[in-house]
Amino acid sequence: MAVKNVTPNHEYTMTGLGSNRIVQKAVIDFTGKYLYALQLRTSDPSPDSLLSRVTIADSNEATGIKPSGSTIDFSSGESMVLEEFGHGETLEQYLPKGADYFWVATGANGDPVNGTHWARQIGLIQFQAGQTLNYRNAMRLSSISSANKNGEPFAELLRCDAALSSNGSRLIIMGQSIKDNNNNYTRQLTCYETAKIVPFMESFQTLNTPCTEKTIKSACVSAYIFTHHLPWDSQQGLEFNDSNKVYISGGHQKSDNSQQETQRPHILKGDWRFTPGNYETVQLNLNDSQHNPDLVETEGLQLHGDNVYVGIEDHVQSPAIHMIYSFAKNEFSV
């Protein structure tokens, strides 16, 4: 299926953040009227992350939040340090626990791979301003390589990320292996029922709940080896809706991809197994006079209302310009 070209809307530009690293994922809290940003804390190899937030309340707007096109200054906000959470694209607001609870990627306790401390577990944490949270003190799912109905490892795990359905009832996890002898990755995509896994995690004897536990295995709705082509061969963001549709974003700046090609932001959407005729890719066409496409990197996704929100990094300067763009969900035909 051909790639569809879409002109997105500029929502926010983020400034004043406590780290010079890119924003791996931003989340607009439309109810609490906050903007959250997740970054690595220092230069690579950085095992620690920084989670920041700032109010975007605006009583002069009908929506109650800052209007599209605004610059959001985080210097007046608050943050918390996430020790050994590592590189992840996951920041999923879990409203059943509260507006300040999030699913995150965590557990970057191993050696760095090619200079990156990858997250290898999925945790559920509460934002606590000014606090430092070590991953060992976070409630989390481990043994992600065994996140399937059998509780058997699909491969040796390199990294993982997760996404939550819009109503919070299902959690999906994408696990990615280390490269095999042919220089290829293997990926597993898993779906769990949160109503079953969260109470079990809360009652488990430790904060670390392996996916090999019987209750976790029984909460697995589906798991399979994901073989569909990723957008630009990368997974920069992951999302999931209530109709079991999966969204994946991808695209690096030209200097950071092995093909040395221009990679405009791509967002892939498909049904759970990406069956033929049931997937589609949208390409975001930013204004080239404002953003050199060779310097643009695509980051995390957020679904809300009628829109898809996409993190965009412009590497025209250092640190990069951090932005959020949006486009209508109905730009997809699947």
CA–chain centroid gap for 207, Å, is 22
- pLDDT of residue 235 exceeding 70: yes
Mean pLDDT over each residue of the chain, to the nearest integer = 97
* CB 315 within 8 Å of CB 297: yes
- In this predicted structure, what is the pLDDT of residue 184? 93
- pLDDT of residue 1 exceeding 70: no
Per-residue pLDDT reduced to its tens digit, 37-94: 999 999 999 999 999 999 999 999 999 999 999 999 999 999 999 999 999 999 999 9
pTM greater than 0.95: yes
What value does the mean pLDDT take over residues 189-198? 99
- In this predicted structure, what is the pLDDT of residue 63? 95
- In this predicted structure, what is the pLDDT of residue 202? 98
User: CA 142 to CA 182: how far, in whole Å?
Assistant: 27
User: CA 29 to CA 271: how far, in whole Å?
Assistant: 26
Strand partners, 35: 28, 54
Preceding peptide of 45 cis, ω within 30°: yes
Taken in order of first residue, the domains within the chain and their CATH numbers are 4-331 (2.115.10)
What value does the mean pLDDT take over residues 171-181? 97
Q: Say what percent of the chain tops pLDDT 90.
A: 95
Which candidate, 160, 44, 145, 52, places its Cα nearest to that of 102? 52
- In this predicted structure, what is the pLDDT of residue 289? 84
| 252 C-beta neighbours (distance < 10 Å), count | 20
Per-residue pLDDT reduced to its tens digit, 139-150: 999 999 999 999
- In this predicted structure, what is the pLDDT of residue 213? 99
- pLDDT of residue 110 exceeding 90: no
Q: Which DSSP state fits 84?
A: T
What value does the mean pLDDT take over residues 130-134? 99
* Distances, alpha carbon 162 to alpha carbons 1, 40, 176, 191, in Å: 26, 17, 12, 10
Question: How would you list the strands of the sheet with 101-106, edge to edge?
Answer: 91-93, 101-106, 121-126, 139-142, 208-210
Q: Residue 135 phi/psi, 5° resolution?
A: -60, -30
Return the SS3 of 216: helix
